[in-house]
Amino acid sequence: MAEFILDTHACLFALAAPKKLGRRARAALRRVDAGRDQAWIPAAVATEIALLRELGRTDIGLPQLRSALENAPNWHFLPLDLDQVDEFSALAAIRDPFDRLIVAAARRRGAKLVSRDERLNETGLVEIVWT
């Protein structure tokens, strides 16, 4: 069973505009919805969604995220733990702290990252699923 970590924009697209997801990202999330794979929403993504909502950059907030997680048995919230923080410490080349936490979560879970962020793809630190 494959595991996927969703980046913030991938999570927002999955919740509000699935057609904006890349072809491979949509296929991966269909496998999750079918019960063949697992998807994880890291604490950093939930935090970034809350911040984006406060800034008026999205209509999606924590209530919508919570509802989606409660209604999709193969979608899970991933709390931040010390192992992820340890991995975060080793990823100083990633400047954005949210991206760094998200990549750390993917690496610790051994999961593929659903993201369209080319900068993260160029690092080679985690397998990216998008196009």
Domain spans of the chain, in order of start: 3-129
Buried b (16+ CB within 10 A) or exposed e, 32-45: beeeebbbbbbbbb
Q: pLDDT of 57-102, one tens digit each?
A: 999 999 999 999 999 999 999 999 999 999 999 999 999 999 999 9
Question: How many angstroms separate the first and last alpha carbons of the chain?
Answer: 21
Q: Which are the contacts of 48, defined by CB distance < 8 A and separation ≥ 6?
A: 8, 98
pLDDT, position 54: 97
What is the CATH number assigned to the segment(s) 3-129?
Answer: 3.40.50.1010
Reported confidence tier of residue 33, pLDDT bands at 50, 70, 90: very high
Q: Which residue has the tokens 């919230």?
A: 77
What share of the chain has pLDDT > 70, as a percent? Answer: 100
Tokens standing for residue 101: 């936490």
User: Taking the model in full, what pTM does it have?
Assistant: 0.95
